[in-house]
Amino acid sequence: MRHVPSVHPSQDTSVDDMQHMTCALQAAEMQRLLRAEVTLDIVESWIDKAQTQIPSATSCDVLRAIRNELAVIATTLTKVEHKFLHHFSQKSAGSVV
């Protein structure tokens, strides 16, 4: 994961420079949102796969495999939630200043 450094304009920063920095920050934000959307799409496909396997599960091994997949999904969602909350808490803290 690439870290986008904070941008602190100086007194001699031009309007063009500010517009360029704004565009760069917006592009970085869009990339993060797209990555989050892809991650959620993957998690949804895992959930769909697990749901289709449950009715046909006839053995303890299959049920155990489904349970393990659901544990991975839950862990992934927890990580996504943590990153989401961390990102927006930083963003909120930055906008207060």
Residue predicted with more confidence, 8 or 84: 84
pTM over 0.75: no
CA angle 62, 66, 71 (to 5 degrees): 145
Write out pLDDT tens, residues 10-65: 666 788 888 999 999 999 888 988 888 888 888 888 888 888 877 777 888 888 88
Domain-wise residue ranges, the chain:
15-96
C-alpha to C-alpha distance for 8 and 13, rounded to whole angstroms: 10
